[in-house]
Structure 1
């Protein structure tokens, strides 16, 4: 059963809200976020941040991606757009968070009232409707106190049992690959300033995409899918080893990872899954025969960039749904 929340467009003109993008002078993206409602997609100091809610929809169920896509297309069709910047990311922008499975879980798309973007030498601000057209003075950043980490919904013993069962089923030939996850709960003495978390993530993992959407916050090196015109890219990561902080040791660990039958097989399953999904929409699909090493601050991953050319007009949400 799916549900939606109709968009709220305060003060919108009959034809829809006015969306205006103009160039601005601003240093830092995450540094401009207010304390509440932070939205972010930033890598190496570039990307998009936003705040305020011009429109919002919540969807669930098997058709969550297509429903969100139709809603977004309709919203953009009704908007009055004045884009003086003309680069990817200017004009109307939405931030979205989608559940992996149809049920349970709710997926959310948010159109912020204000977006600040940076791409190359271009910095711009996009406003929707009656949003202020000047950057405002921000509240002081709050540094959180010590965090008390606790078990989540699955105690450690249950988790270890699940790992053992997964290994046994693989050994019996019932499964090829299993991805297990568990939650850990952190309790802070006071409310956590999400801006502090985002800045720390961006500082510690500059080559990752630091994100914040509707309470989902993190930094990831893995890009599910990107569409630029008719070009499609998906970065697959599977197979990981820690870094030790010494170049020679890390290089040896990377070579061992590239030669690990277990990790290469694990990686192959993930690559084939992505290639099958993109093949339904793409021609000239390029799937490298072997992965490369992606080095991050604390770990090294086996990585493969799968690329292709769109054979149809599938929007990016349709690609993600595949």
Structure 2
């Protein structure tokens, strides 16, 4: 293994590019203690499509300590991961991911915060060959460590945090798990949001449609989810609100608002087709959800940070059109 490899093999079962693929048994080192299994495998199996990795995990081909696991399970020091045969790129294989940078809101030696555009996935998978993190790694080949600290939906724009050091990533994960920091989003919703400030506490559970698409719904046995919604401005039949995440569940803001009777304009999973068609005719063809403000202590210095990303021009323009009516 190379010195910069993300793992240390327990046994010398690594495949070569000239030999037949073989099962590998990889022991988790201190550097990867607490890391999600899917992220661990993506670093280990660079070049393998994310969809293949998820399929291998869900099919039971990937095991931890001989037991079945889920992609989002976290690894512990000393765990032994069974990695099935998967195609690895040859050392001289050309990169298929074009390097790309994104508008930088903040950067130092441990942290990178960008303003992600709508329509760009944060990582490859689910029909997307690559996303923000792969493009950043390709643009910064000298970077030893670049990992997503959290995720944004593909059609959500705004502040996205990337850790440049392992200890920064772990610190951010712990902060989010314990409710530290404040993440604010701007959303345009259907209906007149009356309450100045409202707490939505609806438990959420993931499910899969017949076509294989992953969704989220409100169910009593779901995970605890808490969103604070504040009214900002009302238009004719629509409202601009601030949504503060107090937990970080998949599609949390989208499902909480839709389940409360106020779906986000342009939401193709939980919104209305008629609304999307109406706004498309007005020249607005995205979901109106933007990560606008982040308040948190710096993970290394603990100095308070307040980061902001202004509304994209397309969102500003549609608000102007609504105001002019």
Question: TM-score, normalising length from structure 1?
Answer: 0.26
RCO comparison, higher one (Cα < 8 Å, 6+): 1
